[in-house]
Amino acid sequence: MRTDRLPPPSLRLDLDAEALAGNWRALDRLSGNASAGAAVKANAYGLGVEAVVPVLHEAGCRDFFVAHWGEVAGVLDHVPPQQLSVLHGPITGEDVAYALATGVRPVLNSLFQARLWLDSGGGPCDLMVDSGINRLGLPVDALGDPLVARLEIDTLLSHLASADEDSPQNARQLSRFSQACALIPARRRSFANSAGITLGNDYAFDLTRPGLSLYGGIPRDELAGSIRQVARPHAAIIQLRQLSPGDSVGYNAVFTAERAMTVGVVSLGYADGFLRCWSGKGALRHGDTSLPLLGRVSMDMVVVDLTAAPGLAEGDWLEVPYALPEAAKKSGLSQYELLTLLGQRYSR
């Protein structure tokens, strides 16, 4: 076995645990009489389950949601199984066996999944009803099927498609889900995501399921005063370079220096979630100093203009501005993509 000590990475992702806990408390308060859960799928939206889940649990969260069975073990290191649901549900006998062995609840999405669960002995489960998003969920015309009546449903769920907009679809979905609630006995009902929490108490039911806004995302303006930035990526300068007039930078020479200038090559690229769409847009920062990006983003590197910070050297850290609404406007990426694209090379 190798005993070499790995040097620290040249990328780090700072997680503001106080902001994360505060965001959950704000969303829980905005949920009214409902409790707020937490979507922690996709490795807690890219920020790391091991860092996120303990903070949320300590803040008071008692309902967690992942998408895949492969995400279960990491969450169970921090919370009891009865607090965890798996949104994609079982599609094989192995999935059912794993659910029964771990004690987590499957979210059943179809009559096929309901039969698979019941044929294996069943037990407490969640049930997703499709109220109009046409992704996962039991169709409305299947709600009266005898299989549904046999289920021991803890939480009846549905999912809003356009809660980030003032869309008439929101009210249509609410009506359909309310009809499903009247037909199907369940211990709790859950409908609203982060944006849905702002739509009012009618959408809250018993349990809300925020995701994006826990991590600093603001899908609707109503949340702007309540949600704080959680993730702050940083990258190290790995080389200083002196450019002469006429020198070009990076792929396809899209930037050419018009004067002598000092630039920094920074350990950050699209393998780290900083995609080529950032090319020619925005800047990295050192304290209050803005350092414009030069040329194209590549897989592992960007180049920045260090004119405004002549004292920087190799090994110094730069912050990647990552307030999600502003970063989304500059990059053209969604706030979800900005988080979940963050790669594995950051120390967290």
**What distances in angstroms separate CA 135 from CA 88, 138, 213, one per listed residue?**
11, 10, 22
Q: Is position 322 annotated as part of the catalytic site? A: no
Name the strands in the sheet holding 124-128, side by side, starting at the edge strand that comes first in the sequence.
Answer: 35-36, 207-208, 188-190, 152-157, 124-128, 105-108, 84-86, 64-66, 38-39
| Strand pairing class (261-266; 317-319) | unpaired
Alpha carbon distance 174, 180 (integer Å) = 10
Spot the catalytic one: 203, 215, 251, 322.
251
> Is there a contact between 228 and 313 (Cβ–Cβ < 8 Å)?
no
Q: Is position 41 annotated as part of the catalytic site? A: yes
Alpha carbon distance 308, 39 (integer Å) = 41
> Is there a contact between 310 and 300 (Cβ–Cβ < 8 Å)?
no
* Beta pairing partners, 294: 303
Transcribe 5-55 into DSSP letters. Answer: PPPPPSEEEEE-HHHHHHHHHHHHHHTTTSEE-EE-HHHHHTT-HHHHHHH
Alpha carbon distance 74, 51 (integer Å) = 11
Active site residues: 41, 251
